[in-house]
Chain A
Amino acid sequence: MLEAIVAGLAALATPQAVVFMLVGVSYGLVIGILPGLGGIVALALLLPFTYGHELAATLALLLGAHIATIWGGSVTSILFKVPGAAKSLALVFDGHPMTRQGHAARALGASATAALMGGLMGAVFLAFTIPIVRPVMLALGPSEYLMMALWGLTIIATFSEGSLLKGLVATCLGIMVAFVGMDPVSGTPRFWFGNVYLLDGISFPVAMIGLFAVAEMMTLYVKGGAMVDRVGGEQRSTVLDGVKDAFRHWGLVLRSSLLGLWVGVLPGVGASVGGIAAYAQAAQTSPTPERFGKGAVEGVIAPDATLGANEGGGLMPTLAFGIPGGESMAILLVAFLAMGIVPGPRMLTSELDLVFSMVWIVVIANLLTALIGLAISSRLARLPALNPNVMIPLVLSVCLLGAFATRGLIEDVVVAAAFGVVGYLMNKYQYSRANFVIGMVLAEMIERNLHISLGLYGEFFLFTRPITTAMLAFIVVTTALPFVRRYRRSRAMAAGNGS
């Protein structure tokens, strides 16, 4: 194995591989920052340029770009409340409040470091757990995926402070929007009003661009002044503070990374669900959950560590079974096949060098992304303080272009604008937009996996599948924990006042 580890690294020591890695990471950062575009688009656009080069260099280009898009998506979530991709959504919840409070540089530093730490753990996991991951994958099924989605749903309580009813209304609205289009089980069109555009449903990135970016620019226009009310974008903390935060919360990083690996390993569970689930576990295991949603750095660290680790896990089904675990892995699979590599268990014997090249690429790409990210974070952190006369047209045009670019449909631009109005009104009347999108993300996953679980295991599957039952118990406990803590604290305070 040691030989393969060294050979895997040596394959990346050629000038072509180094240049390709740098190009891939830089390109991935730019694509990631553009709203609506993400790893899948980055890979699809690169594919035609990958033929006729060194194998390791080509992989460095593709994987490097894919990995860099993740942090690129986090940047806009934190700075402008514009999730670069669906999976960066959870970064909006606490990242943007940090920006508003003058802690953008710290948030970006924490984000880049957490993503790096998660990515490194993902790579290590990929390297050493390939032999044992197969039984784990085989033990989990749709009922466990369902529990995962339910776990994500429990986070709505965090964003419903003030009025649980308003929180639930927002979630239900999100679920209803997710039901537009063909249902995932029977393909029956729902809420399509005879319009073929609606058959595909409302694109999630497009809705997010509207709900957050467009709505935020509307609010900024109505309110006047800069997004961050600080002279020249003066920061209250530094990038280094963020780096220290990530190390200080190493336990959270570890937990979130493991969650990310798990989500990556399971085909059928998306990274966007992973980000929300990571956020949920961070809030529910925090001694001060009330800080979440208001600028808690843990709310940035957890999703980024999960997303970073997700990539190592995502390679697993492709390598262990030869079946791509997601759309980006499917595109990588196309590249593999074009390069004459047939992914599958035999890669672990005859192509072990290549597997370790990929492990090294994950490591190096994460390091490069974090280094570039940390170097530019302090400059990026000043952007939200731009004059609104520059910022509003700039952000709106980039976002609406992004909305168009997701599927090349002009209708998506109209939908983004309409969701902008919805987002503005929700914000004004204090209906949580976070709950809306959580409902939207999780609705399909819950519907899909509930249906499959009922079909496969019968109506008592919650109690006949031991792992499902254990996960259900875990959800009940972690959901109840903040309430129990709050109850204890209020009793302690009451006792203190009494004495």
Chain B
Amino acid sequence: MRARLPCLLLIFLAIAASGATAHAASVRGEIVTLLSPNSAGGMMTRYARMIAPYIARHAGARDVRVRIMTGGGGIRGANALWFAEPDGRTIAFTSVTTLILSQLAGSEAVRFDATRFVYLGRAATEPRVLTVGAGSGITSVHDARTLGRPFVFPSQGTDEDFYSMAVLADVMGIPLKVISGYDGNADTALAVIKGDGDGHITGWSASQAVIEAGDEVPVLTLGPERYPDYPDVPTALELVDGASLEAVQAIVNMLDMRRGFFGPPDLDPEATAELRTAISAALDDPQLVADSVAQGLPLLPSPGEAEQIKITQITEASQHLVPMLRAALEAIR
């Protein structure tokens, strides 16, 4: 019995030590799974695949493996992350905007609370812009407000542009008629050019060709500041104040978080710090920057801490946003 006691003590200490090791989660030397809830050939997954090896290098991880988990417009992957162990070995990369809006609009499939995810850094974003048809006679938000009829907005469905427009129309007093069901940006753009719709929201790069061709006119930027190429186009933030400003700020924050990395709720602080540092370093890596230019996947990094603050602002504004988003959804049902 006496001989067994030290053995049992040693075993107990070994178990305690291994438990302590597991608790202090570090991704160094580990395999990290990066969930991409988007299609294999899509832009998001291309970003994820491009950045993953650099995160592995800067985090000292054995590997960062991209795992495609499509479904429900990104909801399936986000649900999976919600239930993942918070040890840093499972993180995700997708459109944060879509996840937050799905949750706020009350999507039945959502099992997560997007405000409780731990945000690790943004890889890229691009301001979105409200453009109107060149033949619409509209040149400003004021014109859209005083048309004497609803502003016709062709939409792909309940995506971030649909919700953004619903909030903008609500706070800016633009009477809105959403025609939903269009098949992608090409379809909504053509509807605006031919005059079936008054305007639509799209990314700056996607709208560049039609603006330069004179088919569409930009009237509003949905970004934190004016777009350098179009300094005369105001931002939505400039045109509102008070509670409306809070709502628009929340939308701008959401759109600004677009291509981001995040981890499960209550992610281990050590793993959080490691991953935030590694993602920042990876996105600043000159070799990755060169790769991104060559592959046409521009980077616009933002640290995880800054992204987490945006989430707090979004949470605070959500009581104003939720009724607007749900009313917009109800209007097209």
Contacts of A188 in B (CB 8 A): 333
A452 interfacial contact with B, CB 8 Å: yes
A 183-207 binary contact with B (CB < 8 Å = 1; else 0): 0111111001010110110000000
**At the interface, yes or no: B295 with Cβ under 8 Å from chain A?**
yes
Q: Scan B267-305; emit 1 where CB is below 8 A from any A CB, else 0.
A: 000000000000000000000000000111000000000
The answer for the CA separation of A211 and B295 in the assembled complex, in Å, is: 39
A-binding segment of B202-210, B226-234, B242-250, B252-260: B202-210
**CB atoms of B190 and A323 under 8 A apart:** yes
How many cross-chain pairs have Cβ atoms below 8 Å apart between A and B? 152
Task: Tell whether A294 is near chain B: CB-to-CB under 8 Å.
Answer: no
Q: Does B224 contact A (CB under 8 A)?
A: no
B177 CB contacts on chain A under 8 angstroms? 455
Please report which residues of chain B, range 87-135, place their CB below 8 angstroms from some CB of chain A when the two chains form the complex.
107-109
Nearest residue, chain B, Cβ from A343: B209
A354-367: contact bitstring with B at CB < 8 Å (1 yes, 0 no)? Answer: 00000000000000
Residue from A45, A196, A321, A325 in contact with B215 in the complex, judged by beta carbons closer than 8 Å: A321
User: Provided the pairs A184-B157, A185-B157, A185-B332 are in contact, do residues A407 and B181 lie with their beta carbons within 8 angstroms?
Assistant: no
B72 touches A200 (CB 8 A): yes
Q: Is the interface of A mostly helix, strand, loop or mixed?
A: helix
- How long is the Cα–Cα vector from A315 to B210 in the complex, in angstroms? 16
Q: Of the candidates A342, A409, A447, which one forms a contact with B209 in the assembled complex, judged by CB atoms under 8 Å apart? A: A342
Q: Is residue B83 within 8 Å, beta carbon to beta carbon, of the partner chain?
A: no
Q: Are A409 and B71 CB-contacts (below 8 A) given A52-B294, A187-B157, A323-B189?
A: yes
A43 in the interface, Cβ–Cβ < 8 Å?
A: yes
CB <8 Å contact, B71 and A200: yes
| Contact residues of A between 391 and 440, Cβ < 8 Å to B | 407-409
Instruction: List residues of chain A with CB within 8 A of the CB of B43.
Output: 334
Q: B186–A47 contact, CB under 8 A?
A: no
Given known A40-B41, A267-B187, contact A197–B71 (CB-CB < 8 A): yes
B182 near A199 (CB under 8 angstroms)? no
A338 at the binding interface (Cβ < 8 Å): yes
Contact B296 A141 (CB under 8 A): no
A interface size (C-beta, 8 A):
57
Q: Which residues of B contact A325 (CB under 8 A)?
A: 186
Interface flags, A261-305, vs B, CB<8A=1, else 0:
000000110000000000000000000000000000000000000
CA–CA, A344 and B194, complex, Å: 16
CB under 8 Å from chain A, chain B span 155-190: 157-158, 177, 179-187, 189-190
Question: What are the residues of chain A within 8 A of B39 when measuring CB–CB?
Answer: 407
Contact B186 A324 (CB under 8 A): yes
| Nearest CB of B to A470, in Å | 18
Q: Which of A185, A329, A334, A408 contacts B181 (CB 8 A)?
A: A185
Chain B, residues 53-92, CB within 8 Å of chain A (1/0): the string is 0000000000000001011110110010000000000000
A138 close to B (CB within 8 Å)? yes
Instruction: From known contacts A138-B193, A451-B181, A452-B179, infer whether A321 and B213 are also in contact, taking CB-CB under 8 Å.
Output: yes
A361 to B187, CA, bound (A): 27
Q: Please determine whether B46 and A47 come into contact, CB atoms closer than 8 angstroms.
A: yes
Contacts of B42 in A (CB 8 A): 44
In angstroms, Cα B46 to Cα A335, docked, is 13
A317 within 8 A of B: yes
A323 to B210, CA, bound (A): 8
Taking the complex as formed, is A244 at the interface, i.e. its CB lies under 8 A from any CB of chain B? no
Known: A268-B182, A344-B212. 16 other contacts (CB 8 A): A51-B294, A137-B194, A138-B194, A141-B191, A184-B181, A185-B180, A187-B107, A199-B72, A200-B70, A268-B186, A321-B193, A337-B205, A345-B213, A448-B181, A448-B182, A451-B180
In the complex, 10 of the A-B residue pairs with CB atoms within 8 angstroms, ordered by the A residue number, are A44-B40, A48-B295, A188-B333, A189-B108, A196-B75, A199-B71, A342-B208, A448-B183, A449-B181, A455-B180
A-to-B contact residues, CB < 8 Å: 40-41, 43-45, 47-48, 51-52, 137-138, 141-142, 182, 184-189, 192, 194, 196-197, 199-200, 267-268, 317, 321-326, 329-331, 334-335, 337-338, 342-346, 407-409, 447-449, 451-452, 455-456
